[in-house]
Amino acid sequence: MSHEHAHTHGANKKVLLISFIIITLYMFIETIGGLLTNSLALLADAGHMLSDAVSLGIALLAFTVGEKLANHSKTYGYKRFEILAAVLNGLTLIIIALYIFYEAFQRFQNPPEVASTGMLIIAIIGLLVNILVAWTMMRGADVKENLNMRGAYMHVISDMLGSIGAVVAALLIMFFGWGWADPLASVIVAALVLRSGYYVVKASLHVLMEGTPRNVNLENVIDTIRNTKGVQDIHDLHVWSVTSGLNTLSCHAVVDNQMSVAGSERVLEALEHRLEHQNIHHMTIQVETPEHQHDNSILCKVKGKLPEGHSHGHSHQH
């Protein structure tokens, strides 16, 4: 792990822990407040805060588990756990959102009495808590690249909008007596929750499906490898993410059949250096001569069985 990576990793954990404590404490206050004032908007926001707390807890656990070193049964260590945590996180959001929709539907038909002054006070405090946590995350953690941190951050941001919804609903009930403002605010919160849940699940599944990382331009990577002195061609290329911030590449590079082992090592060193600028953090390149090359396509075509006319005595499983 590079020094910079270790530093952001430590900062991420610290920010997550602080955020987790603040959000969990306030979630209990908001739940009690929601029950006492009979406000679904507050309970929706508390439900969202619960998902925040779960999301931050999972993210924290994922960083801790992800630090466990690689072993014989898991050669990448436990880094992929972080992505599983992010999927779980997104699914939690989607379930909570659907439940709030259901509750709001009941309330639209029969709006109950809501203690709007108490609701307003609690919603304002909730908004301030969310702003504090979002600011802490923006300032001290990697919310752009790290999927896990981004998932947690998205929770907090949409939670903040949920608190704004509850504040507006409380004011509408106080000044105009509009009882339906409470379930309406909860529906808006639920829509936000659903949206962030969908995006987190989508991005996480892309990683689990070994999709090409979003911050890697495959065309540029191919050009970089092909334009490296000594490389004649490239095939069987794979680029994927183990977890956020750890992109991996494997391919076969065709070199001149007169090249020495030391010469091919110099080519690999040059490739390693150049690919680092393309956001490739770990690479495995098989060097071979034109005679060995069995397939001209850049991407691997083998689907678990040998291509026709390929009479090697072993199977190529990429």
Task: Please report, for the domain that includes residue 85, its CATH number.
Answer: 1.20.1510.10
Sequence-separated (6 or more) residues with CB below 8 Å from residue 39: 33, 114, 115, 119, 166, 169, 170, 182
Strand order in the sheet with 246-255: 231-243, 246-255, 282-288
Q: Per-residue pLDDT averaged across 136-155, rounded?
A: 73
CB of 120 closer than 8 Å to CB of 171:
yes
Write out the two tokens for 117: 């002054």
Q: What distance lies between CA 277 and its chain's CA centroid?
A: 22
39 pLDDT band (50/70/90 cuts)? confident
The predicted model gives 61-86 an average pLDDT of 70
Evaluate whether residue 35 is within a structural domain.
yes
Beta-carbon contacts of residue 315 (< 8 Å; ≥ 6 apart): 305, 306
**What pLDDT is attached to residue 318?**
43
**Residue range 175-179: mean pLDDT, rounded:** 88
> What amino acid occupies position 72?
H
How is 36-101 classified by DSSP, letter by letter? Answer: HHT-HHHHHHHHHHHHHHHHHHHHHHHHHHHTSPP-SS-TTTTTTHHHHHHHHHHHHHHHHHHHHH
Helix, strand or coil for residue 235? strand
Same domain? For 255 and 181 the reply is no
* Parent domain of 268: 218-288
The pLDDT of residue 172 is 92
Beta strands in the chain (DSSP E): 231-243, 246-255, 282-288
Average pLDDT over residues 280-309: 71
296 domain residue, yes or no: no
Residues 83 and 103 in one domain: yes
- CATH assignment at residue 233: 3.30.70.1350
Please give the tally of structural domains in the chain: 2
pLDDT mean over 139-151: 70
pLDDT at 28 over 70: yes
Least confident of 85-94, 274-283, 295-304: 295-304
Q: Are residues 35 and 184 in the same domain?
A: yes
Residue closest to 193 by CA, chosen among 49, 308, 290? 49
Region of poorest pLDDT, from 2-6, 148-152, 173-177, 238-242: 2-6
The percentage of residues in the chain with a pLDDT greater than 70, rounded to a whole number, is: 83
User: Do 8 and 105 share a structural domain?
Assistant: yes
pLDDT at 167 over 50: yes
The pLDDT mean for the chain works out to 81
> Which span out of 6-15, 164-173, 191-200, 292-301 was modeled with the highest average pLDDT?
164-173
Give residues with Cβ within 8 angstroms of 84, minimum separation 6. Answer: 62, 204, 208
Banded pLDDT at 139 (limits 50, 70, 90): confident
Asked if pLDDT for residue 311 goes beyond 50, the answer is: no
As a whole number of angstroms, the distance between CA 234 and CA 251 comes to: 7
Give a yes or no: residue 92 inside a domain: yes
Could you tell me the end-to-end alpha-carbon distance of the chain, in angstroms, rounded to an integer?
26
Q: Report the chain's C-alpha Rg in angstroms.
A: 26
Contact of 116 with 163, CB cutoff 8 Å:
no
Q: How far is CA 205 from CA 135, 149, 154, 202, in A?
A: 28, 16, 17, 5
- The reply to whether 156 and 268 lie within a common domain is no
Q: What is the pLDDT of residue 128?
A: 92
Contact 100, 190 (CB under 8 A): yes
**Higher pLDDT residue, 185 or 66?**
185
Q: Is the domain of 186 the same as that of 118?
A: yes
Q: Comparing 306 with 201, which gets the higher pLDDT?
A: 201
Residue 305 inside a domain? The answer is no
* High-pLDDT (> 90) share of the chain, %: 11
Confidence band, pLDDT 50/70/90 cuts, at residue 249: very high
Are 298 and 224 a contacting pair, CB within 8 Å? no
